[in-house]
Structures are given as C-alpha cells and as structure tokens.
Amino acid sequence: MEFADVVRRRKMVRNYTDEPVDPAVVDRALDNAVRAPSAGFSQGWGFLVLDTPDEVRRYWAATADDLDQPDEWLAGMMRAPVVIVPCSSKAAYLGRYAEPDKGWTDRDEARWPVPFWHMDAAMASLLILQTAVDEGLGACFFGIPPEKVPAARAEFAIPETFDPVGSITLGHPATTPGAQGSPTRRRRKDLDEVVHRGNWRATD
C-alpha cells in the first residue's frame, strides 16, 4: 500500500471479528515500532504482547468492568485477538542522559521540556497502527484507566521501571463499525486552522 494511503486510511477500529491474526504480522508491527525515533537512542520502550485467548481475557478482566454485560465499545474491543501494551521507561532515559556523551549526571527531570519517554513510546505505537493498515487489519490505541493500572501491572508482571502508556487492540475489522468515536461527530480541521507559517496567527 502507498504510504499516503496508509496515512489516510488509518482510523481507530473498535469492532473486530474473532479471526486470528498471523503472528508474522504482529512481529512485523513490532519490528516497525522499534524503528521509531528515541531521544539519545535510549530505546526506553517495552511491548507486552497478549495474543492467546487466555491472555486477552486476563487483560480485560484486569482493566475493564462488566465483562459479563459489556457495552457496545467493550464488546467490540474484546473480540480483538491481540492486545499490545506499549510501555515507557523514564529510568532508561535518565540513565542514558547521565552517560558521558550526554553528561546530565544529576538525572534531574527538570532538564526535560516534555517527557520524551512517553512521546517515543507513542511514536512507536503509531507505527504499529500504521502497520495494521498496511496489512489490511484494524487497530485502536486507547488508555488504561489509571485505577486499573496496578491490576494490569500485577497480572502481567510489568516492572515498576516501565509505565503503560496505553493499549492497542489488533485484529480483523468487523463489517459493522461498532461504537463510534469522535470523528463521526467532529469535522477534521482544515490545515489553515492548525498550521501557522512565520508566526502564530489567531483563528476563529
């Protein structure tokens, strides 16, 4: 698929069939993910891959409520045969930038204008989403409720040095769209509303 088509066809899929996903496709998605940029080539990411029915069920049991009577969103998402949990490690970045070629030996977080550890994991996640489109699959990035993170961490032994930045479902899209997201209710902004050339200009 042409790159422009991958970009334009990417959308969050919230309803899946129960058809399995080829493990080779999952591997390609992960291989693409680790080609994302990372500050200082810290590569402070980790990916929890859940691709068996038992693992996926345990994920939803740890992170969601009402599994026996799921709403439309949860019912559609639970059918995805693969869940990937991208995680970021702040410690990896603070450690990398304390090395001699960087020299921030105090490991002060105030040196970082934004948390690049989360940004880099997010960029890696986008490459997974784009790979799904290129492979003819669907995917959705969504957050884990903060109060559910400890349960997910305990269930899958996620170390304290890594923090989940969200989760990604991966699978074959169902013919019906399922729960609809904000793009069905909100228009995409025009470029001239969000692009400011030379200086920032006010927009309505």
Per-residue pLDDT band at 203 (split at 50, 70, 90): low
Distance, in Å, from the CA atom of 39 to the CA atom of 44, rounded to the nearest integer, reads 9
pTM over 0.75: yes
pLDDT reading at 139 higher than 70: yes
Q: What pLDDT, in 10s, does the model give residues 10-27?
A: 999 999 999 999 999 999
Cα distances (Å, whole numbers) of residue 110 to 3, 95, 106, 107 = 37, 14, 10, 9
Q: What is the pLDDT of residue 21?
A: 98
Q: What pLDDT, in 10s, does the model give residues 50-106?
A: 999 999 999 999 999 989 999 999 999 999 999 999 999 999 999 999 999 999 999
Q: What is the pLDDT of residue 66?
A: 87
Q: How many helices (H) and strands (E) does the chain have?
A: 8, 5
Please name the helix (run of DSSP H) or strand (run of DSSP E) that holds residue 192, with its range, or none: helix 191-194
CA 99 from centroid of its chain's CA atoms: 29
